[in-house]
Homo-oligomer: A and B are copies of this chain.
Amino acid sequence: VVEIPLDDASAITLAVRREAERIGVGMSIAVVDEGGNLKAFARMDNAELAGVELARDKAYTALTNSVSTHELATLAAPGGPLFGLHALVGGRYVIFGGGIPLRKGGAIVGAIGVSGGAVEEDIACANAGVAAWDALVGARSGGSA
């Protein structure tokens, strides 16, 4: 089963883009599926190039570690229980904010990664993508009055 169809990934990406435009920051936006493999990517016209890899790797980190990357900022900091994580798997694990898992019925089915602004901006934009995804899931699961 395809948990996050391309149409949904595009909708998530667009929601992030709208939020990024609203706050006036150029972002790179990535969505990965439940296998950690890239589903959709978009780099806004004013986004710095680091996002090509950081957005994808934030999403990959969130998916593979079942955690938002801003939580890793504490867990993987010097003194934290996961210190050293950032150097593993060839440098693909990002331990600052902008990567967030996407859930469905409690299970993680993918992740979003956003890069381009200050960490707080990246997180805010990623959350816009999560909200778009949750709305899609909610609409499909129906709802009572």
Q: Within 8 Å of chain B (Cβ to Cβ): is A76?
A: yes
What residue of chain B has the Cβ atom nearest to residue A101's Cβ? B48
Chain B, residue nearest A44 (CB): B6
Contacts of A40 in B (CB 8 A): 41-43
Q: A35-B36, A65-B48 are in contact. Are A53 and B88 (CB under 8 A)?
A: yes
- With a 10 A CB-CB cut-off, give which of A50, A54, A85 has the most chain B CB atoms: A50
B49 touches A36 (CB 8 A): yes
Residue A24 CB within 8 A of the other chain: no
- Residues of chain A from 29 to 45 with CB closer than 8 A to chain B in the complex: 33-45
Say yes or no: is A1 at the interface (Cβ < 8 Å to chain B).
yes
B contact residues around A119 at 8 Å (CB):
81-82
Report if A145 contacts B (CB, 8 A).
no
Residue of A43, A48, A84, A96 ringed by the most chain B CB atoms within 10 A: A84
Whole-angstrom distance between the alpha carbons of A73 and B10 in the complex? 33
Interface residues in chain A, defined as those with a beta carbon under 8 Å from any beta carbon in chain B: 1-2, 5-6, 9-10, 17, 33-45, 48-50, 52-54, 57, 63-66, 73, 76-79, 81-96, 108, 118-119
Supplied contacts A48-B108, A77-B79, 6 more A-B pairs, CB within 8 Å: A10-B42, A50-B66, A76-B84, A81-B96, A88-B91, A91-B91
